[in-house]
Amino acid sequence: MSLTDAQRAEIAAHAQETSSTRRPTVPALEAMLYDPQEVLDHGFLRVIDYMGDDSAIVQAARVSYGRGTRKVSEDAGLIRYLMRHRHSSPFEMCEIKFHVKLPIFIARQWIRHRMASVNEYSARYSILDSEFYLPAPEHMAAQSEINRQGRGAVLEGADAAAVLDILRDDAMRTYRNYETMLDTDEGYGLARELARINLTLNTYTQWYWKIDLHNLMHFLALRLDPHAQYEIRAYAEVMLKILHAWVPQTASAFEDYRRGAVTFSAGMMKVLRSMLAGEAVERADSGLSKREWDEMMASLKG
């Protein structure tokens, strides 16, 4: 991870600051504030601020005037009920703000999650650093033959090395050209908003990303899926650890009812009931498409 000495000093100074507050805080998350968690080769993710905790969800659901006197187990039971029955608004009472450094091509996937507030580093105003994402050898894979947006077998030996050379050379060459276009003395003095258009998509950018807990869990449910692209999944895995530190009761319910759960259609449930009744059901007679049938069988096998 590439942090300058000035950035490290700024983070360390910020981490030493304390503020008295009457609002609930979470010690486990307080200990993580501002600390960059490394992701990929030059990326990071860190928590900048947050609002609320598990008790805030319970308070909103009960519309109570304080944190309450009920047992922790009762609060956990209510949170699990809310998660199980998809009651989303109590989870929207909690928010969290991240500072993320990520490759541009991942930022373009990430931004599709629109229920968040985003402010990205401006390459119209500032000059981007010469940092590029290069996949580790174990993530250099060919196109999947069965999934149009997925990876297949890992490239080996000379093929993997050649692709890495192409990625590295293209990124460095376009960055050199970027510098030349910007240079007012020996280059062309081109406007920053134009010079940036030649950069490769593996160039790193940064942003602040603020989101409520309900929509964060939606993001994680999609981006933690094994079919999600590895690079965005790497960020989601760090965010999942943060979720467990921030709202442990909610995170546990999320693991059980969202991440570890499957959804069956009405047609799938009809087939499943027939199977449980001891009836033999063939795909051709099930009313399900081949893909639906395969997905159902894969879920049942675990």
212 is in an annotated binding site: yes
Is residue 139 a known part of a binding site? no
In angstroms, the CA 181 to CA 198 distance is: 10
- Is residue 9 a known part of a binding site? no
Residue 37 marked ligand-binding: no
123 labeled part of a ligand binding site: yes
Alpha carbons 53 and 124: distance in angstroms, whole number: 38
Written in H, E and C, the secondary structure of 7-21 is HHHHHHHHHHCCCCC
Judge whether 7 is annotated as a binding position.
Answer: no
Residue that is written with structure tokens 């499957």 in the block: 262
Active site residue 173: no
Out of 223, 258, 283, 291, pick the active-site residue: 223
Give which of 103, 123, 261, 111 is closest to 171, Cα–Cα. Answer: 103
Q: Give the DSSP letter string of 72-136.
A: HHHHHHHHHHHHHTT--GGGGG-EEEEEEEEEHHHHHHHTT--SSEEEE--TTTSPPPS-B----
Query: Contact at 8 Å (CB) between 123 and 232?
Result: no
The reply, when asked if residue 122 is annotated as ligand binding, is yes
Q: Is 113 annotated as a binding residue?
A: yes
User: Per the annotation, does 88 bind a ligand?
Assistant: no
Contact criterion met (CB below 8 Å) for 44 and 7: no
121 is in an annotated binding site: yes
111 in a known ligand binding site: yes
**Binding residue ranges for FAD:** 89, 112-114, 120, 212-214, 218
**Binding residue ranges:** 89, 109-114, 120-124, 196, 212-214, 218, 223
Active site residues: 223
**Binding residue ranges for dUMP:** 109-112, 120-124, 196, 223
